[in-house]
Amino acid sequence: MDKIKIVTHIFTLFVVISILLPVYWMLILSFKSIVEATTPGPGIFWVKHFSLEGWKLAFANPMAATSGATYSSSAGASYNFLTFIGNSLIIILGGMAVNVPLGLLAAYAFSRYKFKGDNHIFFWFLTNRMAPAASFLLPYYHMYSILNLIDTYQGMILVHTVFNLPLTIWVLKGFIDDVPQELDEAASVDGYGLMGFFRHVLIPMVLPGIAVACLFIFIFSWNEFLFAQFLTHFRATPLTYAIYRLIDVCTMIMWHEVGAVTLVSWIPAAIFVVFMRKYITRGFMFGAVK
Partner 1 sequence: MRWWWLVIPAFVLVGINSFAPIFYIVYLSFTSYHMTGGTPKFIGLENYYKLVQDPDAWMGTLRGLGFSIMCTAIELLIGLCLALALKEYKGKIGTIITTITVLPLFVPPVTVGTLFYSLAKAIFSPIPYILGNLGIRYQFGTNPYHTIITIVYMDVWHWTSLVAIILLAALSGIPSEYYEAARIDRASRWTIFRRIVIPHIRFPMVVAALIRFIDTFKIYDEIWVLTGWLPITKFLSILTVRTAIGEANMGYGSAIGLFFLYIVIIFTALFMLITSIDERRKISK
- Binding residues for partner 1 restricted to 145-184, rule: CB under 8 A: 158-159, 161-162, 165-166, 169
Q: Is 202 in the site for partner 1 (CB under 8 A)?
A: no
Kindly indicate which of the ranges 35-43, 47-55, 64-72, 79-87 contains the residues binding partner 1, using the contact rule CB under 8 A: 35-43
* Contacts for 116-125: CB closer than 8 Å, 24+ residues apart: 122/169, 122/173, 125/165, 125/166, 125/169, 125/170
What's the CA gap between 289 and 128, in Å, rounded? Answer: 10
Residue 268 and residue 88 in contact, taking contact as beta carbons nearer than 8 Å: no
Which amino acid is present at 196? G
Q: Is 290 in the site for partner 1 (CB under 8 A)?
A: yes
Q: Which of 82, 109, 203, 211 binds partner 1 (CB under 8 A)?
A: 109
In sequence order, what DSSP letters do the residues of 59-70 get, joined into one string?
A: II-SB-HHHHHH
Residue 91 and residue 240 in contact, taking contact as beta carbons nearer than 8 Å: no
Q: Which of 6, 12, 178, 181 binds partner 1 (CB under 8 A)?
A: 12
What residues between 128 and 147 interact with partner 1 by CB under 8 A? 128, 130-143
Q: Which of 55, 79, 222, 234 binds partner 1 (CB under 8 A)?
A: 222
Buried b (16+ CB within 10 A) or exposed e, 51-62: bebbbebbbebe
Spacing of C-alpha 166 from chain mean position: 15
Q: Which of 48, 112, 199, 233 binds partner 1 (CB under 8 A)?
A: 112
Within 10 A of 288 (CB to CB), how many other CB atoms are there?
A: 15
Q: Is 55 in the site for partner 1 (CB under 8 A)?
A: no
Give the angle 275-278-282 at the CA atoms, nearest 5°: 125
Nearer of residues 74 and 127 to partner 1, judged by Cβ: 127
Contact track, partner 1, 239-258, x by CB under 8 A: xxx-xx-xxx----x-x--x
Minimal distance, residue 76 CB to partner 1, in Å: 28
What's the CA gap between 87 and 91, in Å, rounded? Answer: 6
Nearer of residues 49 and 75 to partner 1, judged by Cβ: 49
Kindly indicate which of the ranges 34-42, 48-56, 76-84, 175-183 contains the residues binding partner 1, using the contact rule CB under 8 A: 34-42
Residue 69 and residue 47 in contact, taking contact as beta carbons nearer than 8 Å: no
Minimal distance, residue 75 CB to partner 1, in Å: 26
What's the CA gap between 163 and 125, in Å, rounded? Answer: 9
Q: Is 95 in the site for partner 1 (CB under 8 A)?
A: no
Q: Is 117 in the site for partner 1 (CB under 8 A)?
A: no
Q: Which of 65, 225, 233, 249 binds partner 1 (CB under 8 A)?
A: 225
Q: Is 288 in the site for partner 1 (CB under 8 A)?
A: yes
Residues 6+ apart with CB under 8 A from 228: 156, 237, 238, 240, 241
Nearer of residues 90 and 121 to partner 1, judged by Cβ: 121
Q: Is 22 in the site for partner 1 (CB under 8 A)?
A: yes
Nearer of residues 50 and 141 to partner 1, judged by Cβ: 141
